[in-house]
Amino acid sequence: MKISLAANSPLLQPGFVFGVATAAFQIEGAAASRLPCIWDTFCAEPGRIKDGSDGL
């Protein structure tokens, strides 16, 4: 699939910086069969995540 942008798109300006990121917590899964990651530890601390979700 090819994605095109309009010629006047702000995304084509010289000063625009594209970036991407990923994290083990997002892509590895398998919490039952791996060691805890730093995000697992962070989520386990009461009050750290507003709605209490933990990604499991």
pLDDT tens figures, 38-56 = 888 888 899 988 888 776 6
The backbone torsions φ and ψ at residue 19, rounded to the nearest 5 degrees and listed phi first, read: -155, 155
* Dist. CA 53–CA 13, nearest whole Å: 38
Which carries the bigger pLDDT value, residue 37 or residue 8? 8
The conformation of residue 33, written as its DSSP 8-state character, comes to G
Contact 37, 43 (CB under 8 A): no
pTM assigned to the model:
0.44
49, amino acid identity: I
The backbone torsions φ and ψ at residue 33, rounded to the nearest 5 degrees and listed phi first, read: -120, 20
Which carries the bigger pLDDT value, residue 14 or residue 33? 14
- pLDDT value at 24 more than 70: no
Q: Tell me how far CA of residue 19 lies from CA of 3, 16, 45, in angstroms.
A: 17, 10, 30
